[in-house]
Amino acid sequence: MRVRVLGSAAGGGFPQWNCSCTGCRAARAGAATARTQSSIAVEAGGRWFLVNASPDVRQQMTACPGLHPRDGRATPLEAVLLTDAEIDHTLGLLLLREGRGVTVHATPATEATLRRGTGFLTTLERYCPVRVVPVEPGVEVALSDELTYTAVDLPTGKEPRFAEVGSADDPGRVVGYRFTDRSTGGSVVYAPGVADVVPALLDACEGASALLVDGTAYADDELVTQGLGTKTAGDMGHLALAGPGGLLERVAGRAARTVLVHLNNSNPVLLEDSPERAAVERAGVEIGTDLLEILA
């Protein structure tokens, strides 16, 4: 199994178009690594699957030769798996409309938002056939002879933007995935949205080759202290890395390799010479980058 990080930034990318924070200025000046919005691709036996379809999906697929068309307009992309219905994880679905059809794996809660909230699936169906495969947390699903996934239900930590569709308590509003290669026994966990570290997530990490996990914010109040907003990381449904009970303390070492993804432009770990980055690396945790590849 091969896992390719297509995008390692949170919503808006890095630099973010409307932001002049220290990190975004550094990225524009070439002093920090630019990043596209959060997504990975998983491949086994020549069959490719996207996990989340970001607004940068065209650029990301262009940068990944394994996803290039092979014969006319036939592509090796077989399906898109969604962790939630956030715009930065689903807007790219509309950019796949030129294909012969799109297969989407989504929980009922995510599908409901994409139909009665954003309307993305309803719109996509006007352009190409769409097949939705229901995702049920805790149930192993075969994507191919070699590759399986098991979804992990995660708390949202916030009320849904489209409250008329459901509540934060609805199961399956946010999930992570554990991918397993039956031929090698290797497994990789992808969880870009973690509001709290629940037992199911820790169980999924047991024996995993790698954990690609939510690195949105280093400190819970960094958006506020940097003058970038009024919400904390917790308000946005993300557990900050730092401090007692922080994500770093609770997941470091749970898998053979831990890599931070979904990094917000406010996070100082994006700056290579920052003390926050040094603290993360001392904990044995990596800072994910676009194009990072993991074999398992």
pLDDT given at position 189:
99
204: CB partners within 8 A, 6+ apart: 150, 152, 176, 178, 189
Q: Does domain 2-295 have CATH number 3.10.20.520?
A: no
Q: What is the mean pLDDT of residues 36-62?
A: 97
pLDDT at residue 161 tops 90: no
Separation of alpha carbons 262 and 35, rounded Å: 10
Q: Which of 10, 107, 6 is nearest to 49 (CA)?
A: 6
Separation of alpha carbons 288 and 5, rounded Å: 8
User: How many angstroms separate the Cα of 12 from the Cα of each of 16, 77, 119, 230, 232?
Assistant: 5, 24, 21, 17, 17
pLDDT at residue 20 tops 80: yes
Q: How many CB atoms lie within 10 A of CB 100?
A: 9
Q: Where are the domains of the chain?
A: 2-295
pLDDT at residue 169 tops 80: no
- One-letter amino acid for residue 253 of the chain: G
Do 181 and 147 form a contact (C-beta atoms < 8 A)?
yes
pLDDT given at position 244:
94
Per the listing, tokens 């149930």 go with 139
pLDDT at residue 13 tops 80: yes
Per the listing, tokens 């002049």 go with 20
The pLDDT tens digits for 204-228 are 999 999 999 999 999 999 999 999 9
The pLDDT tens digits for 251-294 are 999 999 999 999 999 999 999 999 999 999 999 999 999 999 99
Separation of alpha carbons 194 and 92, rounded Å: 22
User: How many angstroms separate the Cα of 36 from the Cα of each of 46, 169, 276, 277?
Assistant: 24, 30, 21, 19
Q: What is the mean pLDDT of residues 57-83?
A: 95
